[in-house]
Amino acid sequence: MIEWVFNWHSIIYALLLLLVANGAPVVARKLFGRRFAWPVDAGVILSDGRPLFGRSKTWRGILSSIGLASVASLLMGYGLAIGALFGALAMTGDALASFVKRRKGLTESSRARGLDTLPESLLPALILKSQVALNGLDIAAVVLLFFMLEECVSPILYRLHIRKRPY
């Protein structure tokens, strides 16, 4: 008989770190408007005529994600370095999703269900699985739960005028 055992403590902490890392750029945009919103790709247009990432991927967003994830991680007992790396990996996954979406001809902030959440949740969970005590099943749970949370929370944030779009 196979026993399915989840490490719920680690799953919840990983989800909280993901929510903080991905929510930090949204909060920073709300607080600062367009100030300090320097695009990561510096406006580079590739040979396909599309931006590398787009204007919505900013240094302010990356730094806010790393900073707030570091503080959250410290409060959870993982330390600043784990949080900083978690935030950086989540933003790397987010940038990768933006890169793919631009190559597919999707506009900035357009919705691509799954692609919008998979890289930014899977990358930090996989790379930091030992540090946050996740196994393969836990990682799958983190990715699935993060997708479901984004689907439920995004429309609420839109109604509260925190997000620009309901997804």
Q: What digits encode the pLDDT tens for the residues 36-76?
A: 899 999 989 999 999 999 888 999 999 999 999 999 999 99
Taking 60 as the threshold, does the pLDDT of residue 2 lie above it?
Answer: no
Give the span between the Cα atoms of 55 and 34, in whole angstroms: 11
In a domain, 145, yes or no: yes
How many C-beta atoms surround the C-beta of residue 71 within 10 A? 15
Helix (H, G, I), strand (E, B) or coil at 16: helix
pLDDT tens profile 84-115:
999 999 999 999 999 999 999 887 777 778 78
151 pLDDT higher than 90: no
Instruction: Compute the radius of gyration of the chain from its Cα atoms.
Output: 16
The mean pLDDT value of the chain amounts to 90
| Residue 2 within a domain | no
Q: What is the pLDDT of residue 14?
A: 97
164 lies in a domain?
A: no
Does residue 166 sit within a domain? no
* Three-state DSSP class for residue 13: helix
Residue 152 has what pLDDT?
85
From the number of C-beta atoms within 10 Å of its C-beta (0-12, 13-18, 19+), residue 33 rates as exposed
**Pick from 110, 123, 24: nearest CA to 66:** 24
Does this model's pTM top 0.85? My answer is yes
Domain that holds residue 88: 8-159
Please answer whether residues 121 and 87 qualify as being in contact, where contact means their C-beta atoms are separated by less than 8 angstroms: no
Which pair of tokens denotes residue 21? 């890392």
Reported confidence tier of residue 132, pLDDT bands at 50, 70, 90: very high
Q: How many domains, in total, are found in the chain?
A: 1
> What integer pLDDT is reported at residue 110 of this predicted model?
73
